[in-house]
């Protein structure tokens, strides 16, 4: 069974940092691009960042570029999101998601259960 399990969320002060992890299982991890998608409380979905299967290429939304860094460790089947200079507007549930096919823009499935990040003083 394909599974994604996020961890690392929590409460952090504005300006602080947090690193999210997403452990993958049930598929050949290095063959698939991965992404982070967030959802603010009661709001819609927002794509945050993506990374190719090899990890060579990374992509970011304008809202997080320069503050967030996506990476992956294919030996550990794990995806990461390093979040720095956090703002109140970054408060959201963060989902990791696998690309459905091997093409990064081909839709995301499956998704993890999400991890909540709250930025507040």
Partner 1 sequence: QSALTQPRSVSGSPGQSVTISCTGTTSDVGGYNYVSWYQQHPGKAPKLMIFDVSKRPSGVPDRFSGSKSGNTASLSISGLRAEDEADFYCSSYAGSYTLVFGGGTKLTVL
Kindly list the residues in this chain that would bind partner 1 in the complex (CB under 8 A).
Answer: 35, 37, 44-47, 50, 57, 59-63, 95, 100-101, 105-114
Whose structure tokens read 């299967």? 53
- State the nearest-atom distance from the C-beta of 121 to partner 1, in Å: 28
Instruction: Characterize 73-87 residue by residue with b for buried, 16 or more Cβ atoms within 10 angstroms of its Cβ, and e for exposed.
Output: eeeebbbbbebeebe
Pick the closer one to partner 1 by CB: 13 or 100: 100
What radius of gyration do the chain's Cα atoms show? 13
CB of 16 to partner 1, least distance (A): 25
- Closest distance of CB 50 from partner 1, Å: 7
Nearer to partner 1, 8 or 110 (CB): 110
Q: Which is nearer to partner 1, 19 or 65 (CB)?
A: 65
96 bridge partner residues: 36
Closest listed residue to residue 95, CA positions, set 109, 118, 117, 113: 113
């Amino acid at each position: 069974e394909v599974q994604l399990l996020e961890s690392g969320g929590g409460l952090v002060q504005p300006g602080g940092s947090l690193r999210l992890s997403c452990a993958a299982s049930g598929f050949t991890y290095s063959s698939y691009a991965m992404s982070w998608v967030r959802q603010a409380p009661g709001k819609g979905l927002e794509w945050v960042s993506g990374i190719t299967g090899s990890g060579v290429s990374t992509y970011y939304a304008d809202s997080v570029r320069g503050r967030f860094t996506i990476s992956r460790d294919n030996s550990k089947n794990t995806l990461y999101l390093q979040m720095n200079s956090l703002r109140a507007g970054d408060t959201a549930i963060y989902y990791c998601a696998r690309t459905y096919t091997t093409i990064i823009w081909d839709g995301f499935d499956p998704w993890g259960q999400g991890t909540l990040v709250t930025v507040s003083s």
